[in-house]
Chain A
Amino acid sequence: MDDLYREIIIERYKTPQYRGHLDPHDIHFEDDNPLCGDHIEVTLRVDSDGRVSDARFDGKGCAISQASADLLIESIIGKPLEEVKQLSKQDVLDLLGIELGPVRLKCALLSLKVLKAGIYGLGEASDELVE
């Protein structure tokens, strides 16, 4: 079987652990990738120490986009927002454990882009957030 579809990616796509919507929440953002219709929404709760106390994602799209969102959300719970802001493209690729071409990279990085745009309180999720 192909390395790109490691078991964890298929597993997280089919049975995500952190899919949902937090209400109330402190941070919310959503965006999509118009090229393939991938859509990701994130909701975060932040405690008084500035740590992510809980987080969820919702959305639709390819296995790469949805699995990377699930893994990313898992990785930020309990972390200080300041640390989450520092997350990079490579951190997401490390979570997925695969190499991706430029088209699929956009799928993989959509959740990080949405997450950062939400944390920074930006109106849009630009590619520069995930360089």
Chain B
Amino acid sequence: MSLDSLRLRQDFPIFERQVKPGMPLVYLDSTATTQKPLTVLQAMEEYYRRFNANVHRGVHTLAEEATALYEAARQKVAAFIHASDAHQVIFTRNASESINLVAYAWGRASLKAGDLIVLTEMEHHSNLVPWQMLSAALGVDLEFVPISEDGLLDLDAYRLLLDRRPRLVAFTHMSNVLGTINPAAEMIRLAHAAGALTLVDAAQSVPHLPVDVQALDVDFLAFSAHKMLGPTGIGALYGKRSLLEAMPPFLGGGDMIKTVHLREFTPADLPQKFEAGTPAIAEAVGFGAAVDYLDAIGMQAVADHEQEIITYALERLEEVRGVKVFGPPASQRGGVASFILEGVHPHDVAQILDTFGIAVRAGHHCAQPLHEKFGIPATTRASFYLYSLKEEVDALVEGLYRVKKIFA
């Protein structure tokens, strides 16, 4: 079943805007952040208008209602990724913070000098820098699963790295540059067989694919609300209960404690143990509304739509002489196409496209090592979501012809 994206777009107020006079907004930067449907905006506004109070401690009606809304959002997010229990979902600021939480709370308590963490060459900085910081602090070693010319992980090399008995394997489920969808279930199975725990950076997969943490058997999974129709400022960490319970707290403060004395405290139970201070309550409510919106459509339908769009986009981009798209064929990727146009710097490409109301990203997309691997400083990236249209791909291609003409 294919999505009626034209109709879905009516749910997104921003598409009423003409960023450049007389030209419709062609938003091809959903990998950076997605647009927000009206239901998400309304849910957050209604929370502030009718229910605003601090959560968990208050005994008055508003506090109880706000707590119920906040925890209902957690239930929705947990159900969305098929977690068996909502207490395994910790609200954080974003996927980066989720990964940092694991690096600090699990990493510093569990690892020692000489332990190995396996990452990949296609990681976003958010799944790279926290481990580099941990490595600098503890002396743990980092190794990287290499990628092939067509942007796929070298699984034979991965198996060899697993022979070195890493403590953790942390990898992206879907590359934000190449669009590559990695074989997460198989990689997790192999990691477990080698005695390693697993962390999946799901910032690009949870918004775009059906993700089932129990089927994956993943130990930790990190994602952000704003990349899946929700607000900025909130993300989630899923963790297996036994692991989360054994971990020391991350940040200290209010809300994360059971008792506090002048010289000691006992931490709260899950999930509050990892949620110090007043959380982003309205954002959690918006996150829940975003999940409702995606649930109503169905994630398989979202994935199928993006598969259709990326297949078309790769075909059309191929037609443009001088364009080189990085990454695997459409069948192995999500809705992301990073490319270079011969003779024109990606910044110039993006800037000229912007004058036609086409929003793309140019740069290294927080994956500088990946660009170094391909020997290029930057790419232009077009990325798609459930509201993307084939007509927008056409607009992109037409825009690229105009860029070429300007630089001819």
Contacts and interface: CB of A to CB of B under 8 A. Distances in A.
B298 interface: no
B363 A35 contact: yes
Interface of B: 344-348, 351-352, 355, 362-364, 368, 376-378, 406-407
Contact of B351 (A10, A13, A104): A104
A128 interface: no
Given A38-B345, A104-B347, 11 more contacts: A2-B352, A4-B352, A5-B352, A13-B407, A35-B364, A37-B378, A61-B345, A62-B345, A62-B347, A63-B348, A104-B351
Nearest to A35: B363
A84 to B, nearest CB: 27
B347 A36 contact: yes
A14 B355 contact: no
A42 interface: no
**Shortest beta-carbon contacts, A-B, top 4:** A37-B377, A62-B345, A2-B355, A62-B347
B370 to A, nearest CB: 13
A14 B404 CA distance: 13
Interface in A25-40: 34-38
Most buried by B among A10, A37, A61, A63: A37
Contacts of B378: 36-37
A60 to B, nearest CB: 8
A46 B368 CA distance: 38
A1 B352 CA distance: 9
Interface residues of A, number: 19
A61 to B, nearest CB: 6
A62 B349 CA distance: 9
A61 B343 CA distance: 10
Nearest to B355: A2
A29 B344 CA distance: 25
Contacts of B347: 36, 62, 64, 103-104, 107
Nearest to A1: B406
A19 B378 CA distance: 23
A124 B344 CA distance: 28
B406 A5 contact: yes
A63 B345 contact: yes
A62 B344 CA distance: 7
B346 A4 contact: no
B25 to A, nearest CB: 17
A36 B348 contact: no
Contacts of A36: 345-347, 362-363, 377-378
B407 A10 contact: yes
Contacts of B362: 36
